[in-house]
Structure 1
Amino acid sequence: MSHAYVIGHITVKDPQRWADYRSQVPATLAPWGGELVFRGARLGDLAGRQPHADVVVIRFPDQAALDAWHASPAYQALIPLRTAAADIVLTAYGT
């Protein structure tokens, strides 16, 4: 596996809290080599129905780095803010 990705499907509940959460995430990624690939808003559903309006894709060098980031105290400390700010489904993928 050459890279590991986190894809988040997001419905924002509290824009101010979401902005606060988003501003803090990059610092949690850096120690693990994580980088934001893109953030975007749904333009439309082409097949099926995606209930979340926004998406984020984050790339890591490998699954070990992805897992270490997610388990890190820095990221874990942000989860209560994330939960208050948005409904989100995070899924890990490998290439």
Structure 2
Amino acid sequence: MPAYLYGNIDITDPALYEEYRREVPAVIAAHGGRYLVRGGAVKVLEGHGVPNRQVILEFPDMAHLEAFYHSPEYQRLVAIRQRAASGTLFAIEGY
């Protein structure tokens, strides 16, 4: 069953975030993940959410998603992302 990582990211240091953005695709791919959404225009249709940079990744299953997130390679990049941005990440099981 596929699993999705959804992020709503507010970039506060674009130059530093660029380092994260440049390096993370290879780590995602190494864990069987792929981008479904990476930035792009966002329009709120209902509610009062504040959309920032939207990212949706698809992994083969939750085990692959969690292996990606907890991998040493990604944790190094998490430290960079957290200095360059704030936001929320969700792991979501698909069907």
TM-score, normalized by length of structure 2?
0.90
Contact conserved, 1:41 with 1:53, CA < 8 A, in 2? no
Q: How does 1:22-61 map to 2 (within 5 A)?
A: 22-61=21-60
**Alignment match, 1:77:** 76
After TM superposition, give the deviation of residue 42 of structure 1 in Å: 4.7
Q: Aligned to 1:78, what secondary structure does the other structure show?
A: helix
Percent identity between matched residues is 37
CA-CA distance at 1:31 after TM superposition: 2.0
State whether residues 42 and 51 of structure 2, in contact with CA within 8 Å, keep that contact through their aligned partners in structure 1.
Answer: no
- Calculate the TM-score normalised by the size of structure 1: 0.90
| Structure 1 contact 42–53 (Cα < 8 Å) conserved | no
Q: CA–CA distance in 2 between the matches of 1:42 and 1:88?
A: 17
Pairwise CA distance, 1:51:
2.5
Distance in 2 separating the partners of 1:42 and 1:35: 19
**Worse-matched range after superposition: 36-45 or 79-88:** 36-45
Structure 2 residue runs without a partner (length 5+): none
Aligned length: 94
Structure 1 residue ranges without an equivalent (≥5): none
